[in-house]
């Protein structure tokens, strides 16, 4: 893009926002309907593009990209008119007769930097919420998923107002130029190295950011567990999209006594899912490019491969691989794998697993497989992670009522469903007072006096709640009054002449 002018692109979005072009509820809903229509009319085009980018199976494309986005839009169409209404809040006594509420208003110009592993979902999902919040949006799809980026740039202007939503394709040069501009919010999905660059650029303009970064997401498999079921669910979550999923299981922690059974169960499941030769399976994807292929291939050097291990660079194919006898200081345990390699490390017990996980950066997703409710609660209580799932994998990403986001090095901020709307909205505090009853306001105006102070304290000062029955003194007083009236009534009906 030799003629790329980041400033002009952002200025165009800023002008549209300042003109209120995308702010009305009617416009937001119209954009959402058009976006749904675009997806519905071009499902096959998007899936074909992702097939070329990642060899993504049609079922995965529809299930984890297209359908999730369509469901997200439907949720907004059903609820947005309620979400944009002022939210009334509780008021102190001195605000009696006045109005206090929260208005959710658009932030302004939003930049969304998408990711390559789910190139449709991770670009469109935040776009939906940013549009619904009334912002103007510039989206920068990942250049690594080139085919999906092209079709987004081609189709979005045909369905959405190009002043309100613009698509910028390109690589580092274009992204860097965009980050030099002032935005009102930036959402980035990707790795922590680029996340730091995005955050540093945003800090120059005091721009808030949402960073979806990932990390090493552990799985603890308790010996008190259905190993066969755990193996199936771990295998599914790990090897969907060839392991290129931010919330996929990254490594397994288990006790020695269950390791062999677990490894065999995963082997059996891999054969069931992908056949004798996964390279020939229509249901198994590919690595995004040669650079990531070589990065993953390097992780296999010098490790004990218990299953898989085959690599074919011309096909960007890495066989689903299990690695055992892993030590914490090995390369495969240092950084997020983001590929079809599953290390298994032995721990003494649950406490040993807890110590190991807590000695590292907080994971994006923590998985626990156990039949024991107390064990599930123990690990949930004692291990710090951004998200948690028990006895399954990936499902958190499909629940749009849950906030999806990281903590610490795995990211900051959250989105999905209403949480995306909240991320791209400013919660504006509003108080509207009446011009009447001015006499009551004399207690707040100078000259001050003891009498004014006493009244002000009575109206404004809160008192701690009392423990025990004294904490329920209003109800106790009412009960005493009722009891007294009841006793008087009984006395009256028992008096001579009233029987």
Residue 298 CA, chain-centre distance (Å), reads 31
Residue 212 among the catalytic residues: yes
Using DSSP, state whether 343 is helix, strand or coil.
Answer: strand
Pick from 216, 172, 214: which is nearest to 192 by CA?
Answer: 214
How far is the C-alpha of 320 from the C-alpha of 436, rounded, in Å? 74
User: Where does 302-449 have alpha helices with state H?
Assistant: 350-358, 373-382, 418-423
d(CA 26, CA 24): 5
> Which of 450, 52, 13 shows the shortest CA–CA distance to 288?
52
Cβ 396 vs Cβ 404: under 8 Å: yes
DSSP assignments along 63-85, one per residue: IIIIHHHHHHHHHHHHHHHHHTS
Paired sense of beta strands 304-307 and 321-324, if any? antiparallel
Active-site annotation holds for 47: no
Question: CA-CA distance, 315 to 55, in Å (whole number)?
Answer: 10
Q: Is 182 left (phi over 0), alpha (psi -120 to 50) or beta?
A: beta
User: Which is the catalytic residue, given 60, 65, 72, 212?
Assistant: 212
Neighbours of 161 (CB within 10 A): 16
Torsions phi, psi of 308, nearest 5?
A: 80, -145
Residue 54 near residue 241 (C-beta atoms within 8 A): yes
Q: Which helix (H) or strand (E) holds 441?
A: none
Pairwise CA distance, residues 121 & 123, whole Å: 5
CB atoms within 10 A of CB 88: 10
Helix (DSSP H) and strand (DSSP E) numbers for the chain: 17, 18
Give the active site residue among 246, 255, 319, 336. Answer: 246
Active site residues: 212, 246
């Amino acid at each position: 893009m030799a003629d790329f002018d980041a400033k002009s692109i952002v200025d165009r979005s800023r002008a549209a926002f300042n003109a209120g072009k995308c702010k009305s509820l009617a416009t937001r809903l119209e954009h959402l309907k058009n976006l749904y229509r675009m997806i519905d009319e071009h499902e096959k085009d998007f899936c074909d593009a992702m097939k070329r980018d990642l060899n993504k199976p049609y079922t995965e494309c529809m299930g984890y990209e297209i359908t999730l986005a369509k469901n997200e839009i439907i949720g907004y169409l059903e609820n947005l008119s309620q979400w944009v209404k002022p939210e009334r809040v509780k008021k102190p006594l001195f605000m009696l007769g006045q109005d206090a509420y929260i208005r959710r208003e658009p932030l302004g110009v939003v930049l969304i930097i998408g990711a390559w592993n789910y190139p449709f979902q991770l670009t469109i999902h935040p776009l939906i919420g940013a549009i619904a919040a009334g912002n103007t949006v510039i989206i920068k799809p990942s250049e690594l998923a080139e085919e999906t980026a092209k079709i987004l740039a081609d189709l979005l202007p045909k369905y959405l107002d190009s002043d309100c939503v613009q698509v910028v394709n390109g690589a580092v040069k274009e992204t860097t130029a965009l980050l030099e501009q002032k935005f009102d919010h930036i959402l980035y999905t990707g790795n922590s190295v680029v996340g730091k660059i995005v955050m540093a650029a945003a800090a120059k303009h005091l721009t808030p950011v949402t960073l979806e970064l990932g990390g090493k997401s552990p799985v603890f498999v308790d010996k008190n567990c259905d190993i066969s079921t755990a193996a199936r669910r771990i295998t599914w979550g790990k090897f969907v999209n060839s392991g290129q999923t931010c919330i996929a299981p990254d490594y397994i922690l288990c006790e020695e006594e269950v390791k062999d059974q677990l490894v065999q169960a995963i082997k059996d499941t891999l054969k069931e899912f992908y056949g004798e030769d996964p390279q020939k399976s229509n249901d198994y994807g590919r690595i995004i490019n040669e650079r990531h292929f070589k990065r993953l291939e390097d992780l296999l050097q010098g490790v004990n491969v218990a299953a898989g291990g085959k690599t074919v660079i011309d096909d960007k194919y890495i066989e689903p691989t299990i690695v055992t006898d892993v030590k914490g200081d090995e390369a495969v345990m240092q950084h997020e794998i983001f590929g079809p390699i599953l290390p298994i490390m032995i721990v003494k017990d649950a406490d040993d697993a807890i110590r190991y996980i807590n000695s590292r950066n907080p994971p994006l997703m923590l998985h626990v497989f156990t039949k024991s409710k107390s064990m599930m609660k123990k690990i949930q209580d004692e291990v710090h992670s951004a998200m948690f799932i028990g006895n399954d994998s990936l499902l958190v990403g499909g629940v749009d009522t849950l906030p999806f986001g990281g903590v610490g090095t795995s990211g900051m901020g959250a989105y999905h469903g209403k949480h995306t709307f909240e991320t791209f909205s400013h919660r504006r505090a509003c108080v509207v007072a009446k011009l009447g009853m001015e006499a009551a306001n004399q207690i707040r105006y100078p000259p001050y006096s003891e009498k004014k102070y006493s009244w002000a304290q009575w109206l404004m000062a809160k008192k701690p709640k009392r423990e025990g029955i004294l904490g329920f003194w209003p109800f106790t007083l009412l009960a005493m009054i009722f009891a007294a009236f009841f006793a008087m009534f009984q006395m009256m009906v028992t008096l001579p002449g009233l029987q």
